[in-house]
Homo-oligomer: A and B are copies of this chain.
C-alpha cells in the first residue's frame, strides 16, 4: 500500500502538503494541489486509518453489541444502525453478547482498545460499571436507562394496547406471558398489559417465559395450555413465543381466532408469514436502529444531544390471530 510519503515523493512535495490536500486544511496552491491529486490517483493512495486513529486518538469505528443476531428481531435493528452509520462513514465492529456479562465486558474492552468513538448496546444492565466508566459515548438500543442516552419502544403502551385489543375482541380469560425477568422491555410490556387487565376486572393469569429462544418458546407454549386449557386469549411475550403458542394451539385443535386469540410483540418479518398470520404489536425496529445511530452521531459530534431519550411509538397490527372488529 502506498503511504503519504510515497505520494509526497511522487508529487515532489512534502508530506505536510499532501496531508493538507487530503484533509483540505490550511493553504495549498492550486497547482500543487493538482500535482498531489494526480499522484494520489496514480498510486491509488488512500490514507491509513490506523495511523490516523493513533494520532487523533479516535477512529471512524463504532462498536455494536447485540444479544444475538440470530434472533429475528435484531437484524432489523442492526441494519438500521448500519445504514445510518454508513451515511456518515462510520464503520461497525460487531459482536453478539448472548446476554453474557463476561462476553459483554470483553467486547467493550476490545472496542476501546480499537479506539472506537462510540458504542451502541442492547444490554440488560445499562448501569453496569462497564458502561458507567466508559469515556466514550454510549447509546442503549431497545433498552432503557434514565441517565444514559437510549432509544426504545414504548413497551408499556404496547402492553396496554395488546390487552385493550384482546379484550375489545372478546377474550374473557386471558393469559399473559411475563417474559424474561431480566429483560426490561419484556417487563414493561407485561406491566402495561397487567394494568389494563386489572382495570377491566376480567379474569386473567400469568405464566413465565424464561428466554426468547425457539426451543424455550415451544416448551412454554405447552406448559401454558397444560396449566390453563380454558384460556381464550394469549398475550405473548414476543412474536417467537406467540408463534409457538399458535402452533401448540393448532396442534390441540383449538380454533384461532374464534376460540382463542393470540397477540404477539415485535412484528418481526415472520409474523406475516406464519399461518394464520399473527396479530401483533409493531415495534419500528429498523427506525430504532437508525435513531440510535443518529443519536450517537449527534453526541459524538456535538458533545451532547437535544433529546437523550427517544421513545418510539408502537402500534397494533391486526392480522388473523385476532377477530375482526371494525
Contacts and interface: CB of A to CB of B under 8 A. Distances in A.
Interface string A169-190: 0000000000000000000000
A76 B276 CA distance: 26
Interface string A217-228: 000000000000
Interface in A264-312: 269-270, 273-276
A8 to B, nearest CB: 19
**What is the interface residue range for chain A against chain B?**
35 or more
Contacts of A70: 75-76, 79
Contacts of A72: 72, 75, 269
B247 A115 contact: no
Nearest to A78: B69
Interface stretch (A23-31, A105-113, A195-203): A105-113
Given A50-B114, A59-B50, A115-B48, A91 B92 contact: no
Interface string A57-95: 001110010001110101110110011001000011111
Contacts of A96: 79, 82-83
Kindly name the residue among A46, A70, A275 whose own CB sees the greatest number of chain B CB atoms within 10 A. Answer: A70
A306 B72 CA distance: 36
B46 A113 contact: yes
A165 interface: no
A50 B109 CA distance: 13
Given A273-B243, A274-B275, A48 B113 contact: yes
A168 interface: no
A96 B94 CA distance: 12
Nearest to A64: B94
A93 B92 contact: yes
A47 to B, nearest CB: 7
A250 B273 CA distance: 12
A54 interface: yes
Contact of A250 (B113, B115, B246, B275): B275
A53 interface: yes
Nearest to A244: B273
Contacts of A69: 69, 75, 78-79, 82
